[in-house]
């Protein structure tokens, strides 16, 4: 008997902000390709992660969460990115959060998802935190090719999810070479890691006033990796808060980022991190 033909396809992860799309991507791929925080609007770029499976290859595209509560320039750009990501995919994973009510925002996202003619799987996430609102989501069950309850954080039901995805994917050639698991390059990954530490270390509107720019990544003769980066923020008062008393804030952010880069790469890292005012970074963001 001949072997079954292999499946291949691009699967987009869509949903509201903070439902756990990036956490799910990382757990599926088995490594941290996307940053995750407890704050909404963490993801700003489409990040791909790949599963190489004997049955085929799945390329996941993580998207910025759809977020309707702050009508600023960055939010509208992020929502547009998320909407554009619906195009040209082979299947759609609609990620919802079992710990939150379906509200206006979810209803709007659901409407978008419903319009897609692609195979669709509803992923009800965070079931480790209880299943309070699961029934609200299950009322949409009939619109989906499959519905599955998972915990991205605790790797629960993810094997079953992968099987359901493979079922709906077309037969095809792999999109990525066998040794590659992401489209994220080194510089972007460092930028994102620093941004994660800003999101974790700062509160209220400050994370949303910031972006991170990596200017230099250079391996020195002694093997040390020298990184020069800046946190950009839109106002002098935010800059002051990001620097903190005796520069303790920016130092803490830099230290946390450096430690993680060192842990992941095994390199000794010197991270030269400063804070700069740049009122217009969101205008340039694309
Ligand atoms: N209890 C629990 N928490 C989870 C789970 N998955 C994600 N989270 C938490 O939910 C929060 C948001 O996770 P993210 O993965 O950043 O969410 P996201 O959907 O990518 O958010 P945006 O990028 O802002 O759209 C983080 O604090 C995660 O730790 C889960 O399965 N269980
Ligand atoms: Mg995310």
Residues with CB under 5 A from ligand 2 (ion): 21-22, 42-43
Nearest atom in ligand 1 to 66's CA: 25
207 ligand 1 Cβ < 6 A:
no
pLDDT tens digits, residue range 236-274?
999 999 999 999 999 999 999 999 999 999 999 999 999
Residue 4: predicted pLDDT: 83
Ligand nearest to the CA of 97: 1
Spell out the per-residue pLDDT of the chain, length 286, in tens.
Answer: 677 899 999 999 999 999 999 999 999 999 999 999 999 999 999 999 999 999 999 999 999 999 888 789 999 999 999 999 988 999 999 999 999 999 999 999 999 999 999 999 999 999 999 889 999 999 999 999 999 999 999 999 999 999 999 999 999 999 999 999 999 999 999 999 999 999 999 999 999 999 999 999 999 999 999 999 999 999 999 999 999 999 999 999 999 999 999 999 999 999 999 999 999 999 999 8
CA of residue 65 to ligand 2 center, whole Å:
6
**Cβ neighbours for 15, distance < 8 A, ≥ 6 positions apart:** 21, 65, 66, 94, 95, 96, 97, 109
CA of residue 248 to ligand 2 center, whole Å:
27
37 ligand 1 Cβ < 6 A:
yes
254 ligand 1 Cβ < 6 A:
no
- Taking the complete model, does pTM exceed 0.95, yes or no? yes
Which domains does the chain carry? 7-168 (3.40.50.300), 186-284 (3.30.300.20)
CA of residue 4 to ligand 2 center, whole Å:
34
22 ligand 1 Cβ < 6 A:
yes
pLDDT tens digits, residue range 89-119?
999 999 999 999 999 999 999 999 999 999 9
197 ligand 1 Cβ < 6 A:
no
98 ligand 1 Cβ < 6 A:
no
């Amino acid at each position: 008997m001949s072997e079954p033909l292999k499946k291949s396809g691009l699967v987009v992860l869509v949903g509201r902000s903070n439902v756990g799309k990036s956490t799910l991507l990382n757990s599926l791929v088995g490594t941290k390709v996307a940053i995750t925080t407890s704050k909404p609007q963490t993801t700003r770029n489409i990040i791909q992660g790949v599963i190489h499976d004997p049955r085929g290859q799945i390329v996941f595209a993580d998207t910025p969460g759809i977020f309707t509560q702050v009508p600023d320039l960055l939010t509208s750009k992020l929502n547009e990115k998320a909407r554009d990501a619906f195009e040209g995919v082979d299947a759609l994973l609609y990620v919802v959060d079992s710990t939150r009510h379906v509200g206006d925002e979810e209803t709007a996202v659901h409407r978008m998802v419903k319009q897609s003619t692609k195979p669709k799987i509803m992923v009800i996430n965070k079931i480790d935190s209880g299943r309070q609102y699961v029934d609200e989501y299950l009322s949409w069950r009939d619109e989906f090719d499959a519905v599955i309850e998972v915990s991205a954080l605790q790797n629960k039901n993810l094997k079953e999810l992968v099987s359901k995805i493979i079922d709906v994917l077309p037969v095809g050639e792999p999109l990525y070479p066998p040794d590659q698991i992401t489209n994220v390059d080194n510089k972007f990954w460092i930028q994102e890691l620093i941004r994660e530490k800003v999101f974790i270390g700062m509160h209220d509107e400050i994370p949303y006033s910031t972006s991170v720019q990596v200017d230099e990544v250079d391996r020195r003769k002694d093997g040390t990796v020298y990184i020069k980066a800046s946190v950009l923020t839109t106002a002098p008062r935010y800059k002051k808060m990001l620097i903190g008393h005796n520069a303790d804030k920016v130092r803490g952010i830099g230290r946390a980022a450096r430690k993680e880069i060192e842990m992941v790469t095994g390199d000794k890292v010197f991270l030269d991190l400063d804070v700069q005012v740049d009122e217009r970074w969101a205008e340039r963001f694309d």
